[in-house]
Amino acid sequence: MLSKLRRVLVAGLITLIPVATTAYILIVTFRFVDGLMGRTVERLLGYPIPGLGVIATFLLVLLVGVLATNLLGKRLLRGGERLMLRVPLARTVYVTVKQIVDTVTRQDNPFKRVVLIEYPRKGVRALGFLTGTTGGEVQGIIAAEVLNVFVPTTPNPTSGFLLLMRREDVILLDMPVEDGIRLIISGGILTPNGAGRPTAPGGRRAPAAPAGGAGGGVVTADAGANAVDLEGSAGGHGRGGGRG
């Protein structure tokens, strides 16, 4: 009897927690947005009207958007931005927030490919995202081509580590970036069912695992493999240079 009651109670909690959390976030967001312009509207009218602050905030955002999309408005906003950059403390906050917003709202995904690397020690693999190629002083010091790999944390993928790795130490996967993010956020619970084989270092396909054999084989590739297309699918789609 007690075990059945416990199961029913747990099932109820599992059902209610997501609903209650969503409702709480929506209520807090509504109150915050309503308070942005609600007090100003209350002073103008002399009495509060619930929800009117949300409408006023929406109209304000719409007005700023109109200004930001026409020539005259862009000039006015650039002038205000120059004034903001002259204030020491405000300049630091403004530049930081603007960079974060620009990164989050950019149309092209900054994560180009999902990659598999040996990290943080030999024999341990980690999932990461290729963000580009390394240039400047770092590339000048290292003879081999260096790639920028971002290794996010679980369950918050917005924090993590930037690793500068040689191209031959990075395995490019055919897994979509969205599936990679979903895999990391879920802590490995949501595993994508991709049919493609990973691209071994150097740009060739990794050999498929033997049928009926144990997994976990080492991925190898020919040293003279073709270059890898960082923006799309890997080049050299011929047979893999490694042996299963």
What is the residue extent of each domain of the chain?
2-105, 108-206+225-237
C-beta neighbour count of 172 within 10 angstroms: 25
Q: What mean pLDDT, rounded, does the chain reach?
A: 77
* Short-list 179, 163, 169, 231, CA closest to 200: 169
Res 38: pLDDT: 80
Helix ranges (H only) for 71-176 are 71-86, 88-105, 136-141
Cβ-based neighbours of 90, under 8 Å, separated by 6 or more: 84
Rg (CA), the chain: 26
Distances (CA, A) of 117 to 121, 122, 197: 10, 10, 15
Sign of CA dihedral 210, 215, 218, 224: positive
- The tens digit of pLDDT for each residue in 43-73 reads 888 887 888 888 888 888 888 888 888 888 8
pLDDT over 90, % of the chain: 22
**Measured distance CA(87)–CA(197) in Å, rounded:** 53
- The tens digit of pLDDT for each residue in 94-142 reads 888 887 777 666 666 678 899 999 999 999 999 999 998 888 888 889 8
Res 242: pLDDT: 39
* pLDDT confidence tier of residue 77, bands split at 50, 70 and 90: confident
- Write out the DSSP string of 108-125: S-S--EEEEEE-SSTT-E
Residue of 83 and 99 predicted with greater confidence: 83
